[in-house]
Amino acid sequence: MSINMNPKYLLISGSTKCGTTSLFDYLSQVDLVCPAARKETRFFLSEHYPLPRSFPYSKDISVYKKFFINVGASKAEVNLDATPDYMYCKAAMSRIAEDLNEFLIVLVLRDPVERFKSWYKFARQIGAISNDTSFNQFFDMQVLKPINSTPQHLRALAQGFYSSAINDFPTKCKENLLLVSFEELKRSPDSVVENIFSHLNINVNTNLIEYGVKNESVAVKNQSIHKRYLALRRYLNGKTAFFPFIHRIGKKCRIAFDKVYLSMNNEPDVYFEFDNATITELENIYADERDILLNMWVKKAEC
């Protein structure tokens, strides 16, 4: 399969539990976009970052381009990678600035308290914590200054301080940065998509995009079964990601199976309890960050 050797790169680089899967799906439906073989390539992450990846980082950009061998890749003007942990990894942002010529970094940011609540639900869904772990217990588990070995779900609180991460971006990344409000993405996804392509200076037809929420956190009946299922999905995805025809068929089968599987292992009536004391503590912790975030949106609206 031929590849466009000089595409622009669109990097959805943050944040987790902020709708990045949905945005990746919307953008992937556009003909001039070549989505990565897997949503999160994780290619630029530091070797010590606690997430698995298909390829270790290499200065040889042709290795990264292997993720974009896909149908229509030769005519694509944009290669799309959605790895929301990039924003929290200084090495990743430095590598992006050094290795890519034309790129746009998109950060989807959500109210940090609401994001933390979503992370609690997601951590239970994937079996990172047991179903009997309370919201307050999840809060107490958090590591405000993560080290290399700190797992992703225990970084949820620390990673709600978006401004600290953005301040550490290289100048080139700050100059090619677009901030998106989670609320705006939820309310007007079409406007968000159009704005992204406007920043890329690419004219596309977005009328045929099908919008809908992806990767929404749910409660599961049996965490053990769900953990095994997710492990199997990751294994098969890793084995087929670089065989486009097989991967596309596998993805369609997986989507169909997910509907059946989740209907059997989903707990639709589960009520997640968020105690007021922990919510108040989160609001106090994030008070300054919320003000910074509000100022970001005000400045963005004035532009």
Q: Which residue has the tokens 């532009």?
A: 303
C-beta of residue 259 within 8 angstroms of C-beta of residue 238: no
Let me know the angle formed at the C-alpha of 27 by 25 and 29, rounded to the nearest 5 degrees: 75
The reply to whether 173 and 238 lie within a common domain is no
> Residue 135 has what pLDDT?
97
40 and 98 share one domain: yes
pLDDT tens digits, 53-74: 888 999 999 999 989 986 556 6
Q: How many residues does the chain have?
A: 303
Shared domain for 105 and 77, answered yes or no, is yes
> Average pLDDT of 254-261?
67
Place of tokens 């995805």: 237
Backbone torsions φ then ψ of 58, nearest 5 degrees: -140, 140
In percent, the amount of the chain with pLDDT more than 90 equals 66
Q: Please indicate, yes or no, if residue 101 is contained in any of the structural domains.
A: yes
Classify residue 97: in a domain, yes or no. yes
Confidence of residue 145 (pLDDT cuts 50, 70, 90): very high
pLDDT band (50, 70, 90) for residue 179: very high
Mean pLDDT, the chain, rounded, equals: 87
Q: How many domains does the chain have?
A: 2
Q: What angle do CA 155, 159, 164 make, to 5 degrees?
A: 135
248 pLDDT tier (thresholds 50, 70, 90): low
**Is 75 in contact with 37 (CB distance < 8 Å)?**
no
Are residue 235 and residue 108 in the same domain, yes or no? Answer: no
pLDDT digits (tens, 9 = 90+) for 217-234: 655 567 677 667 666 766
Domain residues for the domain of 35 are 8-113+161-215+286-302
| pLDDT value, residue 253 | 75
28 and 175 together in one domain: yes
Q: Is residue 41 part of a domain?
A: yes
Inform me whether the pLDDT recorded for 48 exceeds 60.
Answer: yes
**232 shares its domain with 101:** no
Which pLDDT belongs to residue 1?
A: 41
Q: So what's the pLDDT on residue 249?
A: 72
Calculate the dihedral angle through the C-alpha atoms of 91, 94, 100, 104, rounding to the nearest 10 degrees.
Answer: 100
Residue 53 falls within a domain, yes or no?
yes
Asked whether residue 50 falls in the same domain as residue 81, the answer is yes
Q: What is the mean pLDDT of residues 75-87?
A: 95
Please calculate the CA angle 129-131-134 and round it to the nearest 5 degrees.
80
Whether residue 147 is contained in a domain is answered as: no
Q: In this structure, is residue 152 part of a structural domain?
A: no
Same domain, 37 and 88: yes
CATH of the domain at 71: 3.40.50.300
Q: Are 184 and 111 in contact (CB under 8 A)?
A: no
For residue range 188-213, list pLDDT tens digits in order.
999 999 999 999 999 998 888 999 87
What gap in Å lies between CA 179 and CA 169, rounded to an integer? 14
Residues 83 and 201 in one domain: yes
Q: Answer yes or no: do 265 and 166 share one domain.
A: no
Task: Please report whether residue 260 resides in a domain.
Answer: yes
Residues 49 and 13 both lie in one domain: yes
**Does one domain contain both 194 and 259?**
no
Is residue 73 included in any domain, yes or no? yes
The pLDDT of residue 2 is 45
Measure Cα distances from 246 to 33, 129, 237, 242 in Å: 20, 33, 10, 9
Q: Report CA dihedral (64, 33, 14, 193) to the nearest 10 degrees.
A: 170
